[in-house]
Amino acid sequence: MSHETRAFINGKYVSSAQGKKFSVFNPASGEEIASVDACTAEDIDIAVKAAKAALYSEGWGYKSTGAQRAVILRKLGGIIEARKDELAMLDSLDHGKPLREALADMGDAITACSHFADLAEKQDRDQNEVIENGTGGDFVTTISLEPIGVVGAITPWNYPFLMGIWKVIPAIAAGCCTVLKPSELAPLSCLVLAEMCLEAGLPAGALNVVPGLGHEAGAALVEHPDVDKVSFTGSVPTSRRIMAAAALGPRGISLELGGKSPLLVFEDADINATVDWIITGILWGSGQVCSATSRVLVHKSVRAPLLARLLERVEAIKMGDSLSADMMAHQGPTMGPVISKGQYDKIWTYIDDAKAQGLVFAYGGSRDLVAHLPKEGFFIPPTIIVDPPTTATVWVEEIFGPVLCIREFSSEDEAVAVANDSSYGLAAAVFSADAERCTRVGKSMRCGIVWKNCSQPAFVQAPWGGVKKSGFGRELGRWGLEEFTSVKQVTSCAHEFSWGLW
């Protein structure tokens, strides 16, 4: 392929120190599409040192202004705009998602550049804010906003380019220097992001992209003593190892982890509109979305019509290779494969276990539904399980695939209790024509994001993140910028004033 597959360190593409490689596969066919350099601790050390040097350089880091950073971000947004079709095709090939989904990711990336450029300029205006300290002028206290330092960023594979943007762009806005380790399952577009940032005027070393395996590149990054902040999006088990490593610093950390998000449907909800959002909430990205609303709770009075409409819509979804001529020409809803053989096997294990437990499948759950597709591809049909016990594995655990569980409820209190009975707390959706009920129920949800009569919208201007096992810290909006900003207190004493204590 024509795109670079080497690491990007200190402003140029370089081969990994040990010459290691790993393969990247097309999930629709199982074919290798690239052999990518696999960075190890030696490469990570070089990248972190480059980042630290840039942080203390004349043109970046502590000596840069928000206005300077905003110029770079706006130029980067224009570069992404000019190459969005190419980037979307690359993510669709690498991940398997339909092109329309990948193009939507590019639109969000472009908006992020503009939004964080505005925030960078605002940070200039907020510098040297005077804080009332109660001394009547004997002491003057101001606040200085500075980059937190060298950032170690680790991103997942479900939004290859966009997740890189979510971390790199606010880090640039704050003046930080970043070492980005993209997922080994879909690293290609992040390597393109590196060269685009350089073209936009980002100094060499301010962004380094180090593809590699988690236990080699990822572990070395979070353990490096010169990394000041770790920003991670991924699984709970991996986050525990990252937290332990970060504690040795100690260093700052933010985690955006998994979810088992509920979607509550009350008796007065618009059924057709609700079904649209249910499908979006579980089938976008083939269900490989941390905020996927995979647990649907529906009032018993509307369960039958909702399920009937849902089945009608799901049956019309066309599956296949997202970049094939047939799929590209299809006018209706489409769905691609899941990312890898490992993910494919994991999801089928959940489905097969649910069958063995005697759970009821309203749709899917059968390999026969995808038997017409290439057997080398990782295709899983939309799967709907009805009335699983609240203790069932498919109801409790994050599957990260196109598997939806539906249960009915009789009262609002019951719905809220069942929805909150989860170790995760990323998002929740509430569907009702009663605005007061939406507000009341939304306030009762123990999560970081609540949607009213919709599911999955994410805006770069609004905070994103969860509670409980879904992590802590926030991405996007001014909250996302604050994650990469260090707040310094500066206090000066009035001329000739003395406490007279000695």
- Taking only the tens place, the pLDDT of each residue in 244-254 is 999 988 999 99
% residues pLDDT > 90 (the chain): 95
- Convert the pLDDT of each residue in 327-372 to its tens digit: 999 989 999 999 999 999 999 999 999 999 999 999 999 999 999 9
- The catalytic residue among 290, 405, 438, 447 is 290
Together in a domain, 285 and 298:
yes
- Total structural domains within the chain: 2
Q: Is-cis flag, bond preceding 250, omega within 30?
A: yes
- Convert the pLDDT of each residue in 441-481 to its tens digit: 999 999 999 999 999 999 999 999 999 999 999 999 999 99
pLDDT at 150 over 60: yes
CATH number, domain with residue 185: 3.40.605.10
Together in a domain, 211 and 283:
no
d(CA 424, CA 395): 12
- Token pair 């908006």 in the structure block, residue: 111
Asked, for residue 500, whether it belongs to a domain, the answer is no
Mean pLDDT (the chain, rounded): 97
Asked, for residue 372, whether it belongs to a domain, the answer is yes
Together in a domain, 301 and 250:
no
Asked, for residue 495, whether it belongs to a domain, the answer is no
Together in a domain, 32 and 152:
yes
At 457, is the secondary structure helix, strand, or coil? Answer: coil
Host domain of residue 273:
262-452
Beta carbons within 8 Å of 393's beta carbon, 6+ residues apart = 350, 353, 354
pTM: 0.96
Containing H/E element for 35?
strand 32-37
Together in a domain, 19 and 46:
yes
Q: Give the per-residue pLDDT at 212.
A: 98
Asked, for residue 462, whether it belongs to a domain, the answer is no
Q: Is 276 exposed, middle or buried (0-12, 13-18, 19+ CB in 10 A)?
A: middle
Beta carbons within 8 Å of 288's beta carbon, 6+ residues apart = 158, 338, 339, 343, 400, 401
- DSSP code for 217: I
- The catalytic residue among 121, 216, 223, 256 is 256
Residue in 497, 33, 465, 500 with CA at minimum distance from that of residue 290: 465
pLDDT at 1 over 60: no
At 366, is the secondary structure helix, strand, or coil? Answer: coil
Q: Which two tokens stand for residue 389?
A: 């016990």
Asked, for residue 498, whether it belongs to a domain, the answer is no
Together in a domain, 336 and 406:
yes
Mean per-residue pLDDT, 117-145: 96
Q: Which two tokens stand for residue 220?
A: 């070395």
Mean per-residue pLDDT, 304-309: 98
Asked, for residue 121, whether it belongs to a domain, the answer is yes
- Catalytic: 256? yes
d(CA 316, CA 311): 9
- Convert the pLDDT of each residue in 396-418 to its tens digit: 999 999 999 999 999 999 999 99
Where would I find the H helices in 200-324?
219-223, 236-247, 271-283, 303-315
Q: What angle do CA 259, 261, 264 make, to 5 degrees?
A: 175
pLDDT at 100 over 60: yes
Q: Give the per-residue pLDDT at 494.
A: 83
Mean per-residue pLDDT, 160-173: 98
Asked, for residue 502, whether it belongs to a domain, the answer is no
Q: Give the per-residue pLDDT at 443.
A: 98
Mean per-residue pLDDT, 368-379: 95
Together in a domain, 397 and 266:
yes
Together in a domain, 134 and 277:
no
pLDDT at 2 over 90: no
Containing H/E element for 477?
helix 477-482
Residue in 164, 8, 39 with CA at minimum distance from that of residue 91: 164
Name residue 407's beta-bridge partners.
Answer: 297
Please state whether beta strands 383-386 and 139-147 pair in parallel, antiparallel, or not at all (unpaired): unpaired
Together in a domain, 103 and 229:
yes
Q: How far is CA 496 from the centre of its chain?
A: 53
Q: Which two tokens stand for residue 160?
A: 């290859």
Asked, for residue 497, whether it belongs to a domain, the answer is no
Together in a domain, 351 and 433:
yes
Query: Residue 349: left (phi > 0), alpha (psi -120 to 50), or beta?
Result: alpha
CATH number, domain with residue 305: 3.40.309.10
Together in a domain, 349 and 240:
no
pLDDT at 423 over 90: yes
Mean per-residue pLDDT, 305-325: 96
Q: Give the per-residue pLDDT at 498.
A: 82
Q: Is 280 exposed, middle or buried (0-12, 13-18, 19+ CB in 10 A)?
A: middle
- Convert the pLDDT of each residue in 388-401 to its tens digit: 999 999 999 999 99
Beta carbons within 8 Å of 82's beta carbon, 6+ residues apart = none
- Convert the pLDDT of each residue in 197-239 to its tens digit: 999 999 999 999 999 999 999 999 999 999 999 999 999 999 9
Together in a domain, 366 and 217:
no
